[in-house]
Amino acid sequence: MRLDLLLALILAALPALAQQAPDPEAARRTIASIEELLKQRPTDATLYFYLSRFKADLGDKAGSVAALEKVNELGEGFLPTRELGFASIWDHPPFQAVRAKLEAKLPRLDYAPTSFKLEDRTLIPEGIAHDPHSGRFYVGSIAHRKVMQVDPDGSVSELAGLAAQLDEVLGLAMDSPRRVLYVVSTSALTAKGEKTRRNAVVSFDVDARRLLRRYDVPGAQQLNDVAVAPGGRVFASDSGSGAIYEIGVKGPGPAARELVPAGRIRGTNGLAASPDAKRLYVAHSTGLVVVDIASGEVKRMPNETRENVAAIDGLYEWQGQLIGVQNVTSPGRVILISLSRDGASVVGVKTLLSHHHNALDEPTTGAVGRDSFFLLAATAVSRYNREGVIERPETLPQPTVLRIPLPR
C-alpha cells in the first residue's frame, strides 16, 4: 500500500490514537503509547525505531538518537530513511553516526536480474500476481484503476479496465488451479473516495479474460491485500480497521464474513496461508500474528531473532516459510522467515535482497514462482497523493519487476 498511508497506520498500531498524519500532539500521544508498550516489551527494537521516528517529529533530536541507539543495541535489519519520518533530523551528525552503524550491519545482497519493465511510468503499481501455469504476470495500477497482463514473450495488454469499474487497485492474488485472479479495489486512498467508501475484491477468469464477480465489503475501511489458501478459500485484509475478511467464493452466502473483527489487529497488511490451510499469517505495523482460520483466534508471533519482521507489505508462503517485503523500517528489502515446527513463532530471518539494489524504488509486493520470487521493485506509490494526483511525475521510475532466486 502507499507508504505515507502505512505510516499513518503505524499510529493505529498503538492504543487510542487517531488514524491521521502525525502532528505534534499526535506524536506526543504516540510516544506515550510506545513508552507504555515498552514496559511490556523492553527489548523490542521495532518499538524503539518508531519511538525515534516520532521523537524526531517533535524536534527531540537527542531523544530520537538515543532511541535509535537502542535499535542498534537490540535489533538488526532497520535503516531509517529521510522520506519516512526522519527528514527533520537527517542532517544532525549524531543521527547520521548511529544510522551509519545500523547500515554497516546490513548484508549486501543485491543480485536480482530484471524480469521485466513496463513502459507506462504513470501506472503506480502496488500489486502483482503470477500464474505458473501460463507464465503470465498480472500487475495492478493505482492511478489508472486497471490490471495489466504481461505474457511470457513480454507483450502487455489490459486484462481489466473501465468496464470492470475498479477503484484504485492494491493487492492481487492468483488461484492458478481454478484459473481465477482476485483483485482488491478500494476508493479509500483519496480524500474524495473516503467520503463514499467502496471496498471490494473482484474476481476474473484469466483464460476467458472476463469479470466473474464483485465481492463488496461495505464494512471495510480500506481493503489492502488478498490471499488464496490451498483449497481456494480467499482472505482480505482491511488496513483501515485491522479486520480480516473471508471472501465468500465458496457458495451462495454473503460476499464477505469477518474472520477477525476490527480493532483486534492494527495496521493489517500482507497475508499468507499455511500449507494445510489452517492458519493465516498476517503482517502488521510492528510484527506478525497468526490467525486460526477455524476459530478466528489471533496470537502474536514471538520473534526469537534480533531481526526486524515489522512493517511487511507483501507476505507469502513458500515451502513452510514466509517471504516478506519491507518498505517502511528500511528503504526496502526482501526477507525469508523460518518458522518453528508448530508454525507459531519466528526462529530465523535471512535477507534475500537488500536495499543496495539500484532498481529499488518503494518496493511493495511480489509473487512466488517455481524457483524465484518476483518483486515489484519500483512503484513510486508515495507519489500518488490524497487528491488522486501524481506528484513530481518527472521523477517516476519505470515499473520494474526483479527475479530473486530462492534457496535450493
Q: Where do we find the cell 486460526?
A: 292
State the pLDDT confidence band at 258, using cuts at 50, 70 and 90. Answer: very high
Q: What is the distance between the alpha carbons of residues 162 and 122, in angstroms, rounded to a whole number? A: 17
Q: What is the distance between the alpha carbons of residues 135 and 358, in angstroms, rounded to a whole number? A: 26
Using alpha carbons only, give the angle 145, 230, 342 rounded to the nearest 5 degrees: 120
pLDDT digits (tens, 9 = 90+) for 355-385: 999 999 999 999 999 999 999 999 999 999 9
State the pLDDT confidence band at 5, using cuts at 50, 70 and 90. Answer: very low
Q: What is the distance between the alpha carbons of residues 397 and 267, in angstroms, rounded to a whole number? A: 27
- pLDDT reading at 7 higher than 90: no
Show the cell assigned to 353. 535482497
- State pTM to two decimals: 0.93
Show the cell assigned to 220. 471495510
Q: What is the pLDDT of residue 356?
A: 96
- pLDDT reading at 149 higher than 80: yes
DSSP-derived letter for residue 204 is E
State the pLDDT confidence band at 185, using cuts at 50, 70 and 90. Answer: very high
User: What are the backbone angles phi and psi of residue 33, rounded to the nearest 5°?
Assistant: -65, -40
pLDDT digits (tens, 9 = 90+) for 48-87: 999 999 999 999 999 999 999 999 999 999 999 998 889 9
Q: What is the pLDDT of residue 267?
A: 85
Q: What is the pLDDT of residue 254?
A: 74
Q: Hey, which bits of 22-127 come out as E strands? A: 114-117
Q: What percent of the chain has pLDDT over 90?
A: 89
Length of the chain: 408
Q: What is the pLDDT of residue 252?
A: 73
Q: What is the distance between the alpha carbons of residues 205 and 182, in angstroms, rounded to a whole number? A: 9
Q: What is the distance between the alpha carbons of residues 99 and 64, in angstroms, rounded to a whole number? A: 11
Average pLDDT over residues 95-119: 97
Task: Give the mean pLDDT of the chain.
Answer: 93
Residue 358 carries which side chain, given as an amino acid letter?
A: N
Full set of structural domains in the chain with CATH: 3-104 (1.25.40), 114-405 (2.120.10.30)
Average pLDDT over residues 9-36: 65
Average pLDDT over residues 221-241: 97
CA distances from 248 to 185, 202, 290 (A): 16, 11, 21
Average pLDDT over residues 172-192: 97
Q: What is the pLDDT of residue 204?
A: 98
Q: What is the pLDDT of residue 12?
A: 43
